[in-house]
Structure 1
Amino acid sequence: MTTDYKATVFLPATPFEMRAGLVKKEPALIERWDRLDLYGRLRATRKGREKFVLHDGPPYANGNIHIGTALNKILKDVINRSQSMLGKDAPYVPGWDCHGLPIEWKIEEKYRAAGKSKDAVPVAEFRQECRAFADHWIGVQKAEFRRLGVEGDWSNPYLTMDFKAEAKIVDECLKFLMNGGLYRGAKPVMWSVVEETALAEAEVEYHDHTSTTIHVRFPVVSGPDVLKGASIVIWTTTPWTMPANRGIACAADADYVRVKVTEVAEGSRAKVGEALVVAGPLLTDVLKAAGITGHEIEAGFLGGEIAFKTVCAHPLRGQGYDFDVPVLAGDFVTMDTGTGFVHIAPSHGADDFELGRKHGLPVPELVGPNGAYLDDVPLFAGKKVLWPNGKEGNANSSVLAAIDEAGGLLAQGKLVHSYPHSWRSKAPLIFRATPQWFISMTTNDLRDKALTAIDQVQWVPAAGRNRIHSMIASRPDWVISRQRAWGVPITLFVDRKTNEPLRDPAVNARIVEAVAQEGADAWFTSAPSRFLGDAYDPEGFEQVMDILDVWFDSGSTHAFVLEEREELKWPADLYLEGSDQHRGWFHSSLLEACGTRGRAPYEGVVTHGFVVDGQGRKMSKSLGNTIAPQNVIDQNGADILRLWVATSDFSEDLKIDNDILKAKAEIYRKLRNTLRYVMGSLDGFTEAEQLAPEDMPELDRWVLHRVAELDKAMREGYQTYEFHRAFMALTDFCIGDLSAFYFDIRKDAIYCDAPSSIRRRAVRSVLDILFNCLTAWAAPVLCFTMEEAWLTRNPGDEESIHLREFPTVPAEWLDPTLAAKWTRLRDLRLVVTGALEIERQEKRIGSSLQARPVVHIADESLLALAQTVDFAELAITSGLDLVAGEGPAEAFRHEEVKGVAVEPRPATGEKCVRCWMVLPEVGSHADHPGLCHRCHDVVAHG
């Protein structure tokens, strides 16, 4: 009768389940962290350590988080957790951006649906509805961020709508007032007709747009003789701006030609015999567009003759447009498209405005906030540039028809080009001259200070430096005023006589104090005398009712978060957001801090790409390729989403789809199984069993060498924010070095060796080290799984993996000589396992333990290395013979390992029923005839 020796084999045992069950386990762990007050415990245990402060860029409080938001928050959490485990005090204060048009727009939509107007509602009541809307979504998003595993001071976040925050934003704005950087001016700004407010560049996105193009004649009324009787031809994509034309720009050093029309195609608006002036390089294009089939060049190279010497008539002269139109040199005129002449409407273009200001051109205000021509505009009063829904209005067609009737239209067409749109309403924008409040880029050398500060910041990736540098170098003054209701007001009084803003520290102090006590509503609900005091007559001052650009709000967070919270510091170590924030939060924070403090509010800036689908396409509902983080969590658990983040190169766009998530889940499964094997093999392990590294066999010391290498890689990866490199190194180590090699070899020792054997004690000591290191290294990413694993071995109400630091790995574990030896031995093993795999496939053996191969090694040094170890153990065979030489021709060879040949041969003897090795010694023990010597000693003697 065969004895059952199963009970004598030390099989792995652990309650750490193979099936993760993250969907159920993760919420329970979040509750546990809350009971433990993990965030508070972290602050207590790290008190006095070097601080690391990642300042949270505030998400907008107006909807559920999306996959891009989840990416951002997970990255921040991985950074904070890893910095904490590197031994630093890494407090994290999450925050929200609460003001602005998107929220206001939602409340307005509610009113419109009910047939009401927001203008009929008291401003304080309207603002309260906006506040309640933001507060609701803050609660929703907080729960969603928490479910991602993000740790932070959730009970005390910062909100831009908190009264003290609003007061600080007011105070920061007033600093620009007092240092002379804030002014009111009428210049063209990007204007949303749909939302009836000015927008900043950061609130604009560019989409393809089809514009009507026109070529228009401007008759020359005075100038060089060579131009007499000719018309200068301009080309524009905005016919509606023609009533505001006050000049023409040319390139003074370009080649311009005077052309006589000799022949025209049917339907052409050109006239035989007329003279036209256009740029030489663009002549062919103009002739084709105008249907001119024959021409004569009457004069050329006229650039220097035209600029500053020529005056034209407006094409609608005699119909209310009887002013002169001078021709001026403009350095922005190119020869790419058009005619080489640019029509200048100072009210409706940045370049136009600057050129007009240089030469004293008027800046007429012709278009109102609703996109309609004002009542005093000749011919076009009331015509709309855009309808309220954002569609093209009747202004373009009306202007075109009037110019055509007057004989000024030479040609018309269509052009598809990139055009600015509101990122909220998605409607096209217009440039519109209107009085706005600006922060000057030149006063107090703000531009120069910002450019200097950029070079004092670490940008990751480095290209971020060039991107924001070019933006700051070329940006216009910062328009900070918005014609809306929900936000922090621009708390200024303007003297009605001088038109200058009041600069009085006492008035400013009263304003700030009122907002701190009652919120920004105080500005709208209080009498002006409350702020002006007895020194000023309210009748003599205009109270400004515009609100601040929300980018000024978020750009000021460094002032009321970093500077005013004791656990933080100024400047922050890091800002981290998407790459679009070079023109958003990074940008506004830089300008605000440089304008008030002379330097950037951050030491480093890390940017990440956008999330796209598996084919690299932008996610959109119309394509049906969106993936909600909530759905991923409900199906897989948050740790899978966190693993996707950590194993992706976030410096580029990140791809995600169901197949990618399945691949990440498979990596997770392998990592979890590695950890489960470690924990199971450590069943019953105690400190008394530990073995010093110097007493371990080489194979185990090689693992410690790899641990030391990986420790360096993990620390560097976390410190340089290259998580994907670090985590992929960790994954390769677990799957390649451990599961496929070390565990494969050492499982025999774990299962079958005596508890007192050096080999078993060594591997269990290494496994204990591996458990401590692996759980710590992976904890910033797989925060739930590593907590579960840690608590499985270290149960206790006060325990958490996240209170630990990365283990200290002794430098002496690094052994490059040993590593080089084992690299060669693994190559040699590759040939043996390759030969045995063929034997298994051909069913000549069932397992490698049924073999005793002969290994021929031509390289004497490799043979010598192989003879220093038990190579049969490495190959997992019951025996193995090492022979010098090339080996027979029919022997197995591996193309990647030269000079090694393997002859697969069967092992001789009987199979040990306990360890399954095939050895001649099996049967030599009368009390246990089915055991080999090693297993007999374990069973018989314990």
Structure 2
Amino acid sequence: MTDTNSAPTETDYSATLFLPQTEFPMRAGLPKREPDWLARWEEMDIYAMQREQARDRPKFTLHDGPPYANGNIHIGHALNKTVKDLVSRSMQMMGYNSAYVPGWDCHGLPIEWKIEEQYRAKGRDKNEVPVNEFRQECRTFATKWVDVQREEFKRLGVLGDWENPYLTMSFDAEATIANELMKVATSGQLYRGSKPVMWSVVERTALAEAEIEYADYQSDTIWVKFPVSELDTSQIANAHSSKFARSKPLQVDSGIERDTAKTEELESYLSALGSAVLVIWTTTPWTIPANRAISFSSKIAYGLYEIIEATNDFGPQPGEKLIFADKLVDECAAKAKVQFKRLFDVSAHDFGSLTLNHPLRGLAGGYDFDVPLLDGEHVTDDAGTGFVHTAPGHGLDDFGIWMDSARLLGERGIDTKIPYVVDDAGFYTSDAPGLEGARVIDDSGKTGDANQRVIAALIERNALFTRGRVKHSYPHSWRSKKPVIFRNTPQWFVYMDRDIAGKAGDTLRSRALNAIDATRFVPGAGQNRLRAMIADRPDWVLSRQRAWGVPISVFVKKHSNEILVDEVVNHRIVDAFAAEGADAWFADGAKERFLKDRHNPDDYDMVRDILDVWFDSGSTHAFVLENRQKWPDLKWPASLYLEGSDQHRGWFHSSLLEGCATRGRAPYDAVLTHGFTMDGNGKKMSKSLGNTVAPQDIIKQYGADILRLWVASTDYWEDQRLGKEAIQTTVDNYRKLRNTLRWLLGNIAHYDPADAVDFADMPELERLMLHRLAQLDVQVRQAYNDFDYKKIVSLISNFMNIELSAFYFDIRKDALYCDPISSTRRRAGLTVLNHLFDCLTAWLAPILVFTMEEVWLERHPGKDSSVHLRLFPDVPKTWLNPDLAAKWAKIRTVRRVVTGALEIERREKRIGSSLEAAPKVYVADPDLLAAIDGHDFADIAITSAIEIIAGQGPENAFRLDDIAEVAVVPAMAPGTRCARSWKVLPEVGSDPDYPDVTPRDAQALRERAAAGL
């Protein structure tokens, strides 16, 4: 290769170039600058401007699921609110009136618990404080955290009606919640019943499934012997007549044919059965005093066994006869250190003819009732003994089979009353004779002495087969983090399966299942998850034994338990709550106030329980979406509910049931769920592990736009990871996007709308870019409609980094900087840059809310100017040209080989830049050759010259493995380097007025001079 010649004298022409001009900084400085944008938007009242601008558009209503107002926001809050903001902003820019009203859940245990903690720290007793004084402290506490969280959410860039949010503790909300409850009561769906519910001894209240989390817990585990007390021998004998008979009679007695040997075998079986014990296994020894039955399965094979050897310190001894599921007997024998001999098969049908004694029979004169055996579908032989200890007051399966069998049991003279063995503080009651005062769980959540008291009593009565310890997953309160128990208590429920208003088949369950089928779920798996929960759930328990919340505002007729249904009384309650809040229910004289002139207050009890907070939040649609006076831009039902996937059993669930109970359908058209944020290693974030990532820290160091970009980039439908690597990747991506936008701003500064070039007059490369914009417009809009923000970030990032920065901008720099003012190529390029600016700033505005505002105002300053008052641009479909795109895909294939060859030349320092090269390009593929024909391929390859040759090229030419039909032989460009454009061409110096530049650059200089530039 020869050296490149230089011009004899060089002038500095940099001032004559159309170089980028912008004050847009390369360094974002987001942590310092973002608060300025927030202040600007607040001064503009941009949310009100959006509402006015969109008042005649169709409504899109994302209804905010309320967070608890009881602490600073965490990364889960940040993810949730950012995704909601992405939805709301994008729908606004796609032509909807997308109002967003934030809300807070202000009632219930999370807040009440905080006040109680403060009381305990001061040695105060909550029960000694007037209830409305305590409620006011809860209200004050919630108000404080609403204000704190509001500012933290606003700092994320979330746009909404922050000055007019909804609060479940506002008087109008409390009035509506009470009214919704009374609608349920009036329709006959509310009842007071008694069944096991999850109960927190620590918090002294019933808990809903949504308030439960599971954690490892080590339990005492025991195998308990239930002796057979009675058996119906004739019924068993008849059932076994075929088994104990022969075809040929050996003896005739009273007209009955018998086989003496078989008769003896039957008698031996009955004798052994009558002296046997059934063994159960349980991980809750404290529930043994509440046992009222044993459940078995007719699908399991059982056997009667005799102990022939025992090596244990206590428990079963040789000669004892016990019944087990055959599949589990060896495991049970090993546990008790005994050896068995199998005596008989035991038919499960025989269990219906047996009655058992309670293992604590005689303790303090109690437990003298019979224990029946019940056939239960829930019994398996996967673990245990094949028999299930059934305490109907302490388990849903136990309660269900007990109630299903109640009629039959009553006919057998068995007392079917469910005992209240454990009180609200976890102590045994008088329904546990001999064990009163023992405690299951104490106030700190630790295991009490009840288990050991029960085990000792069983050992004393030779009723313990064996014992052990087991670690297993056990329900805990998600607030106190302490274990809970199932406990039978009087509670208020809503029927799931009773016909509503006497219409056959119109039940709350059927309504809810139909509503689920009519709802769009994103991702789709959420539909099956919620459907399974509704299909299997028991009646909805509404009551809580707490103080801070909306009361179950009904009156009950004494002695009959009949709920008072009186519209006049209901209106009085609603009016009082609207004026004074729910405190009116707890005020002195409230019963007389509401019942006066209508009913005798002495005839009614006033319910003192409060509503589960899930009913509160499930009712938000009623006092937010239907409140046209307060929020005229909202609609019912909501277009979308959006929360974490745990809300299939929480807010989605309770809102569905409340809407179906009062309005016959769900209060939403679609449900969108997100996963949870884990640390960088995929572990759950925990303060104790020290692996939490606080959104406040990210914002302080990098800015909210970085956090927003991370949210939009991640697969938020699933659990996500957030650590240093994820943050740095996001920062790197942001910098690339920002730099591309900065270059775009700098060049578009030279754009004059009067010089715009029509689409038809543009060069192919510009029409290709507009084709890509039209493609992206369809893809971006669809992704926003699909709530698929990671796809949007991927589409736009790849377009900006690969197709713009590394391709189009790279090629067009020369034309944009150096072409004459009159150049169609340059003016077309600027026209395309203008379209790029309009589209990219709009498409990215819902994600990078601060940065896009900064970019937009660089070109469109003004007091009322904002990118967030725009719609997505209407991109003409006529720009779409698949044939052109296919042709340019071939051109880029050839270009990729040239670029690869020149990269080696630069690396080996044989050239400084690609403009020093004039390679020979051999193209053997006719289609590729035809694609590049007629184009200035040197311009496309960013070389000063290029030679295209048909054919395979020499063997030592540069090739890419995947493009064998293109070969490149590098060569130096002949001629002199232009002092203005740096192209190396022979014609440099051919213009006598400008001897050191190309003719193109000379023309550009003349036009600038003529224009006075």
Match of 1:275 in 2: 321
2:645 corresponds, among 575, 579, 589, to: 579
Quick check: 155-164 or 268-277, which moved more?
A: 268-277
- Distance in 2 between residues matched to 1:295 and 1:375, nearest whole Å: 39
- Distance in 1 between residues matched to 2:914 and 2:431, nearest whole Å: 96
- Distance in 2 between residues matched to 1:49 and 1:924, nearest whole Å: 62
Tell me, yes or no, if the aligned pair for 1:356 and 1:362 is still in contact at 8 Å.
no
1:663 corresponds, among 729, 733, 738, to: 729
2:579 corresponds, among 511, 517, 527, to: 517
Structure 2: 5+ residue stretches without partners: 1-8, 237-269, 407-415, 501-506, 1009-1013
1:321 corresponds, among 356, 359, 367, to: 367
Aligned residue identity for 1:656: L
- Distance in 2 between residues matched to 1:66 and 1:397, nearest whole Å: 42
Match of 1:302 in 2: 347
Structure 1: 5+ residue stretches without partners: none
Q: CA deviation at 1:929?
A: 2.1
Tell me, yes or no, if the aligned pair for 1:268 and 1:290 is still in contact at 8 Å.
no
Match of 1:384 in 2: 439
Q: CA deviation at 1:301?
A: 4.3
Compute the TM-score of the two structures, normalised by the length of structure 2.
0.92
Matched, 1:717 2:762: no
Aligned residue identity for 1:310: L
Tell me, yes or no, if the aligned pair for 2:820 and 2:1007 is still in contact at 8 Å.
no
Aligned residue identity for 2:470: L
1:243 corresponds, among 259, 271, 289, to: 289
- Distance in 2 between residues matched to 1:495 and 1:384, nearest whole Å: 35
TM alignment of 1:218-367, pairs within 5 A? 218-223=226-231, 224=236, 225=270, 227-267=273-313, 269-292=315-338, 294-306=339-351, 308-319=352-363, 320-360=366-406, 361-367=416-422
TM alignment of 1:151-162, pairs within 5 A? 151-162=159-170
Tell me, yes or no, if the aligned pair for 1:257 and 1:277 is still in contact at 8 Å.
yes
Counterpart secondary structure, 1:913: coil
Match of 1:426 in 2: 481
- Distance in 1 between residues matched to 2:651 and 2:542, nearest whole Å: 14
- Distance in 1 between residues matched to 2:185 and 2:394, nearest whole Å: 27
- Distance in 2 between residues matched to 1:834 and 1:782, nearest whole Å: 35
Counterpart secondary structure, 1:928: coil
Tell me, yes or no, if the aligned pair for 2:929 and 2:950 is still in contact at 8 Å.
yes
TM alignment of 1:825-904, pairs within 5 A? 825-904=891-970
Q: Deviations over 1:118-163 (max 9, x none)?
A: 1111111110000000000000010011111111111111000000
Q: CA deviation at 1:535?
A: 2.6
- Distance in 2 between residues matched to 1:309 and 1:493, nearest whole Å: 46
Tell me, yes or no, if the aligned pair for 1:252 and 1:304 is still in contact at 8 Å.
yes
- Distance in 2 between residues matched to 1:154 and 1:295, nearest whole Å: 73
Tell me, yes or no, if the aligned pair for 1:481 and 1:490 is still in contact at 8 Å.
yes
Aligned residue identity for 1:492: V
Q: Which has the higher contact order (CA 8 A, sep 6+)?
A: 2
- Distance in 1 between residues matched to 2:877 and 2:1006, nearest whole Å: 42
Aligned residue identity for 1:400: I
Aligned residue identity for 1:846: G
1:447 corresponds, among 494, 504, 509, to: 509
Tell me, yes or no, if the aligned pair for 2:300 and 2:380 is still in contact at 8 Å.
no
Q: Deviations over 1:312-357 (max 9, x none)?
A: 1011112211111011111110111100001111111111111111
1:625 corresponds, among 691, 710, 716, to: 691
- Distance in 1 between residues matched to 2:214 and 2:759, nearest whole Å: 62
Q: CA deviation at 1:615?
A: 1.5
Matched, 1:470 2:532: yes
1:100 corresponds, among 108, 111, 122, to: 108
Q: CA deviation at 1:268?
A: 5.4
Percent identical pairs in the alignment equals 56
Matched, 1:780 2:842: no
Tell me, yes or no, if the aligned pair for 1:627 and 1:657 is still in contact at 8 Å.
yes
Matched, 1:147 2:136: no
- Distance in 1 between residues matched to 2:873 and 2:286, nearest whole Å: 69
Match of 2:223 in 1: 215
Counterpart secondary structure, 1:667: helix
Match of 1:50 in 2: 58
Counterpart secondary structure, 1:98: coil
Aligned residue identity for 1:766: V
Distance of aligned partners of 1:326 and 1:941 in 2 relative to their CA distance in 1, 3 Å threshold: closer
TM alignment of 1:390-401, pairs within 5 A? 390-401=445-456
Q: CA deviation at 1:194?
A: 0.2
Larger Rg: 2
Tell me, yes or no, if the aligned pair for 2:304 and 2:346 is still in contact at 8 Å.
no
- Distance in 2 between residues matched to 1:246 and 1:595, nearest whole Å: 35
Counterpart secondary structure, 2:353: coil
Tell me, yes or no, if the aligned pair for 2:312 and 2:336 is still in contact at 8 Å.
no
Match of 2:654 in 1: 588
TM alignment of 1:50-129, pairs within 5 A? 50-129=58-137
Tell me, yes or no, if the aligned pair for 2:419 and 2:431 is still in contact at 8 Å.
no
Counterpart secondary structure, 1:286: helix
Compute the TM-score of the two structures, normalised by the length of structure 1.
0.99
Q: CA deviation at 1:602?
A: 0.3
- Distance in 2 between residues matched to 1:651 and 1:555, nearest whole Å: 23
Tell me, yes or no, if the aligned pair for 1:268 and 1:291 is still in contact at 8 Å.
no
Q: Deviations over 1:909-938 (max 9, x none)?
A: 111111111111123333322211111221
Counterpart secondary structure, 1:830: helix
Matched, 1:4 2:67: no
Counterpart secondary structure, 2:964: strand
Q: Deviations over 1:584-643 (max 9, x none)?
A: 000000000000110000000000000011211111112221111111111111111110
Q: Deviations over 1:715-753 (max 9, x none)?
A: 001011111112210110000000000000000011111
- Distance in 2 between residues matched to 1:644 and 1:4, nearest whole Å: 44
Distance of aligned partners of 1:936 and 1:329 in 2 relative to their CA distance in 1, 3 Å threshold: same
Aligned residue identity for 1:313: N
1:30 corresponds, among 33, 38, 41, to: 38
1:612 corresponds, among 678, 681, 685, to: 678
- Distance in 1 between residues matched to 2:431 and 2:836, nearest whole Å: 81
Aligned residue identity for 1:403: L
Aligned residue identity for 2:475: P
Match of 2:623 in 1: 560
Tell me, yes or no, if the aligned pair for 2:59 and 2:97 is still in contact at 8 Å.
yes
Q: CA deviation at 1:266?
A: 4.1
Q: CA deviation at 1:474?
A: 0.4
Q: Deviations over 1:238-271 (max 9, x none)?
A: 0000001111000023211000111122435221
- Distance in 2 between residues matched to 1:582 and 1:747, nearest whole Å: 53
Q: CA deviation at 1:550?
A: 0.1
Matched, 1:533 2:541: no
Q: CA deviation at 1:705?
A: 0.5
- Distance in 2 between residues matched to 1:675 and 1:692, nearest whole Å: 24
- Distance in 1 between residues matched to 2:682 and 2:457, nearest whole Å: 48
- Distance in 2 between residues matched to 1:767 and 1:15, nearest whole Å: 18
Aligned residue identity for 1:6: S
Match of 2:459 in 1: 404
Counterpart secondary structure, 2:19: coil
Counterpart secondary structure, 2:682: coil
Matched, 1:505 2:603: no
Distance of aligned partners of 1:575 and 1:419 in 2 relative to their CA distance in 1, 3 Å threshold: same
Matched, 1:915 2:981: yes
Counterpart secondary structure, 2:994: coil
Q: CA deviation at 1:518?
A: 0.3
- Distance in 2 between residues matched to 1:432 and 1:694, nearest whole Å: 78
Tell me, yes or no, if the aligned pair for 2:821 and 2:1007 is still in contact at 8 Å.
no
Aligned residue identity for 1:437: W
- Distance in 2 between residues matched to 1:535 and 1:9, nearest whole Å: 91
Match of 1:414 in 2: 469
Q: CA deviation at 1:375?
A: 4.3
Counterpart secondary structure, 2:928: helix
